[in-house]
């Protein structure tokens, strides 16, 4: 999966880099499959990070309302 301590910004940057290579036909067929798999892993990581952050923000706002 994603490397340890990967940040959301790093993951997005890596996805953008891979997409650019795909769009520019810079990958051969073997690299293409590997990179598409990596993009899939990065997207899963980003979705999980967004969900986690959303839940954390909602909890903070809820706690703030209780003050």
* pLDDT one-digit tens code per residue, 1-56: 545 789 999 999 999 999 999 999 999 999 999 999 999 999 999 999 999 999 99
- Is 3 within a domain? no
Structural domain count of the chain: 1
pTM over 0.75: yes
| 1 assigned to some structural domain | no
Q: Where are the beta strands (DSSP E) in the chain?
A: none
Residue 65's pLDDT is 87
Which one-letter DSSP state was computed for residue 2?
P
**Does the residue 46 lie in any domain?**
yes
Largest CA distance in the chain: 58
Report d(CA 20, CA 7) in Å as an integer. 20
Residue 35 lies in a domain: yes
Question: Do the domain assignments include residue 2?
Answer: no
Q: Which domain holds residue 26?
A: 8-65
pLDDT at 3: 53
């Amino acid at each position: 999966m994603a490397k340890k301590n990967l940040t959301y910004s790093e993951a997005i940057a890596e996805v953008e880099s891979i997409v650019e290579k795909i769009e520019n036909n810079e990958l051969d067929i073997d690299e293409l499959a590997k990179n598409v798999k990596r993009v899939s892993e990065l997207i899963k990581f980003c979705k999980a990070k967004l969900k986690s952050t959303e839940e954390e923000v909602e909890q903070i706002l809820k706690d703030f309302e209780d003050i």
